[in-house]
Chains A and B, each alone.
Chain A
């Protein structure tokens, strides 16, 4: 069992949990993920690692409450335990040799972009972070990003905080100002990663995206997480989750992501009824 040592609501739909998992904490690197099951009969759900503390032996996850499984996870409190927690899975993000990087995070994807920004910053790389949210209420990890970045652009869709606009607007502006990036790392909704990749392709800047497809085992057995990258079939769990954004077939990934949408919304409704909560 994997004990929750800290739980914090970052905004009404996003929760942070610090979980006791010493073996995973010892090996985890930015870009890798874990798979959890809240309870014995729960689904297996992959989540990219948001932070880890090797000394304390904890791994931090930040999740958005989107379906039955994450809603169930959110019912657990500090001191309680997750039934299963396995990792670190996938390949770590490559950080070697990078001198100047733009890290682009969208929504809850910022939770995954943050550890990479932090690692790069600690390695002495110049980090420009661009983070985007729908509105002010949904902003997460602002202080953390500030501490890990040489420059931080805060964007909101409605202009209720930071600058009104999309992350791609801010990125293009920075590029046009003459910033030469070794790499752009984009993590967020698939549609955001697609548009960031289209933009950077125009400027010929290498771009890495972190894919989060549907998967079951996470160890290279089920094949559910397959993507088309550069015309080849790749498995996010063992070949990724990081891929070259200029090669990923994003439209296909978006389609595949909706495979169980009806089931999910139904499950969410059921969980809501079960937990006596309002369906949002």
Chain B
């Protein structure tokens, strides 16, 4: 059916909670398109032949096809197209950095704003969840077993794809709840946990078993997973140990890793009235780092009641690695950006609590190996930032539990699992890996892309073995 195109150069804005209200609650910030908004926005897509957007999608969703269905008001049809490629559409629609992926390739972006692909994906996934009550169809079993380590975005994607191909999949999760970073890291106000739970329920409905409280490498080794009849293993164990800066004072009370701070709030629900999980109720907080995790930590601190929250980042605003939308939302909520600033010491009082952070100002010099301009300390620029809490959000290094208990599994000098490029094959036959365990800290969607590629490779491997 021919669609009347919408030639508005701007994308339909996302309705959001008012910043002054939302900075005091943990409810979702972005409220989602209405039905009319979605249909209207979908009509902005030109449905161009060469589909550049799809090349920007790590899980290769047929984007113009699903948007065409939305424009024609066939929401369930749109959902089925997305579901073919993505196991977690309601999640991706919310947390993918679309401006760097699909939307960056959109033809409409040349003379105006790109189509709001992420917003449409979210709308379709939410529409499906609210309107479609049919349980997903159980795929026909092919009699082969695969084990997945880690119930985060990478593991769940691999599990979903393999289950759809008929494999009996068991996902082993170390924590008491499945979801990985989607439940311990990304806050409720950006990704409501009920949505994650629903996506996991969908996977269970197609036969995926999820076993929580199972630390692979400790309670069972990868060799034992093979002895149990699994023909392949996928490692999606995520990043791991938080990095610190190795500056004086990092062991003071009131210095958190972003992982710890966010885990207490998200997984352990410290934000809820009457929660049994202790957390510091800070007045002035400095979050060190400029990625999405730093934004999440800063915005969470604000919602926990902090009066002043700083993002302390050694490069400039332009260089912030966080999604643009997260930076904008943080600014609207009153987070103060201290860019071109680097901490050199955490100051403590007699009780061993944080009472300030000594910083230096930076300026940008020549580009470094990453292509970004290298920050250099400005002489004599030392000053003290008055804070009682410091949250370190400068990345993680891979968890040693699996590599130290799996003979023959090669890791690189940074401790990341070595894989054979695209398909995730490790140096052990039948063992595949992907996501942060391979790349170091990256994004949800890249982890999902790796899970998807590995699921295909595992399918090929097991088929060829027969």
The residues of A with any CB-CB pair to B shorter than 8 Å are: 23-24, 27, 37, 41-44, 68-69, 83-89, 216-217, 219-224, 226-228, 233, 235, 238, 249, 252, 255-256, 258-260, 263-264, 267
Report how far A83 CA is from B253 CA in the complex, Å.
30
Q: Which listed residue, A87, A89, A256, touches B251 by the CB 8 Å rule?
A: A256
Shortest B441–chain A CB gap in Å is 12
Report how far A216 CA is from B174 CA in the complex, Å.
12
Report how far A259 CA is from B277 CA in the complex, Å.
13
Query: 21 pairs across A/B with beta carbons < 8 Å?
Result: A23-B214, A23-B219, A43-B276, A43-B277, A44-B268, A86-B213, A88-B219, A220-B240, A220-B399, A221-B263, A223-B257, A224-B256, A228-B251, A233-B244, A233-B251, A235-B241, A238-B399, A238-B401, A255-B251, A255-B352, A256-B352
Report how far A68 CA is from B276 CA in the complex, Å.
8
Beta-carbon contact of B257 and A222 below 8 Å = yes
Residue of A nearest to B238 (CB): A221
248-296 of chain B: CB within 8 A of chain A? 250-253, 256-257, 259-260, 263-264, 267-269, 275-278, 280
Report how far A258 CA is from B278 CA in the complex, Å.
12
Shortest B262–chain A CB gap in Å is 9
Write out the residue numbers on chain B whose beta carbons fall within 8 Å of the beta carbon of A249. Answer: 251
Residue of A nearest to B244 (CB): A233
Beta-carbon contact of B400 and A87 below 8 Å = no
Beta-carbon contact of B253 and A256 below 8 Å = yes
Beta-carbon contact of B278 and A264 below 8 Å = yes
Residue of A nearest to B176 (CB): A84
- Given A27-B218, A86-B215, A89-B218: A219 in contact with B174 (beta carbons within 8 A): yes
Write out the residue numbers on chain A whose beta carbons fall within 8 Å of the beta carbon of B275. Answer: 41
Q: Which listed residue, B241, B259, B268, touches A43 by the CB 8 Å rule?
A: B268
Report how far A220 CA is from B275 CA in the complex, Å.
24
Write out the residue numbers on chain B whose beta carbons fall within 8 Å of the beta carbon of A27. Answer: 218-219
Write out the residue numbers on chain A whose beta carbons fall within 8 Å of the beta carbon of B212. Answer: 84
Shortest A61–chain B CB gap in Å is 15
Residue of A nearest to B352 (CB): A255
Report how far A257 CA is from B110 CA in the complex, Å.
56
Write out the residue numbers on chain B whose beta carbons fall within 8 Å of the beta carbon of A226. Answer: 244, 251
Report how far A120 CA is from B344 CA in the complex, Å.
46
Write out the residue numbers on chain B whose beta carbons fall within 8 Å of the beta carbon of A259. Answer: 253, 278, 280
**B316 contacts chain A at the CB level, 8 A cutoff:** no
Write out the residue numbers on chain A whose beta carbons fall within 8 Å of the beta carbon of B264. Answer: 216
Write out the residue numbers on chain B whose beta carbons fall within 8 Å of the beta carbon of A89. Answer: 215, 218
Write out the residue numbers on chain A whose beta carbons fall within 8 Å of the beta carbon of B7. Answer: none
**How many residues on chain B are close to A (CB under 8 Å)?**
40
- Given A216-B263, A219-B399, A223-B260: A44 in contact with B176 (beta carbons within 8 A): yes
Beta-carbon contact of A86 and B259 below 8 Å = no
Report how far A227 CA is from B250 CA in the complex, Å.
10
Beta-carbon contact of A216 and B260 below 8 Å = yes
**B412 contacts chain A at the CB level, 8 A cutoff:** no
Beta-carbon contact of B250 and A233 below 8 Å = yes
Beta-carbon contact of A224 and B278 below 8 Å = no
- Given A41-B276, A69-B276, A217-B175: A222 in contact with B259 (beta carbons within 8 A): yes
The residues of B with any CB-CB pair to A shorter than 8 Å are: 174-176, 184, 212-215, 218-220, 238, 240-242, 244, 246, 250-253, 256-257, 259-260, 263-264, 267-269, 275-278, 280, 351-352, 399-401
Write out the residue numbers on chain B whose beta carbons fall within 8 Å of the beta carbon of A43. Answer: 268, 276-277
Beta-carbon contact of A87 and B278 below 8 Å = no
Shortest B393–chain A CB gap in Å is 11
Write out the residue numbers on chain B whose beta carbons fall within 8 Å of the beta carbon of A238. Answer: 241, 399-401
Shortest A85–chain B CB gap in Å is 7
- Given A220-B240, A224-B257, A256-B251: A84 in contact with B213 (beta carbons within 8 A): yes
Shortest B238–chain A CB gap in Å is 8
Report how far A221 CA is from B263 CA in the complex, Å.
9
Report how far A36 CA is from B351 CA in the complex, Å.
30
Report how far A42 CA is from B177 CA in the complex, Å.
13
- Given A222-B259, A235-B241: A86 in contact with B174 (beta carbons within 8 A): yes
Write out the residue numbers on chain B whose beta carbons fall within 8 Å of the beta carbon of A217. Answer: 174-175, 184, 263
Report how far A255 CA is from B255 CA in the complex, Å.
13
Report how far A42 CA is from B278 CA in the complex, Å.
11
Q: Which listed residue, B218, B242, B246, touches A87 by the CB 8 Å rule?
A: B218
Write out the residue numbers on chain B whose beta carbons fall within 8 Å of the beta carbon of A256. Answer: 251, 253, 352
Shortest A9–chain B CB gap in Å is 24
Residue of A nearest to B348 (CB): A255
Interface centre among A217, A255, A259 (most CB of B within 10 A): A217
Write out the residue numbers on chain A whose beta carbons fall within 8 Å of the beta carbon of B246. Answer: 233
Report how far A208 CA is from B276 CA in the complex, Å.
33
- Given A37-B176, A260-B278: A219 in contact with B253 (beta carbons within 8 A): no
Shortest B174–chain A CB gap in Å is 5
Shortest B287–chain A CB gap in Å is 15
Additional 9 contacts, C-beta under 8 A, given A44-B268, A88-B219: A86-B214, A88-B218, A89-B218, A217-B174, A220-B399, A221-B259, A222-B242, A233-B251, A255-B351
Write out the residue numbers on chain A whose beta carbons fall within 8 Å of the beta carbon of B220. Answer: 23
Interface centre among B240, B268, B278 (most CB of A within 10 A): B278
Write out the residue numbers on chain A whose beta carbons fall within 8 Å of the beta carbon of B263. Answer: 216-217, 221-222
Residue of A nearest to B217 (CB): A219
Write out the residue numbers on chain B whose beta carbons fall within 8 Å of the beta carbon of A228. Answer: 251
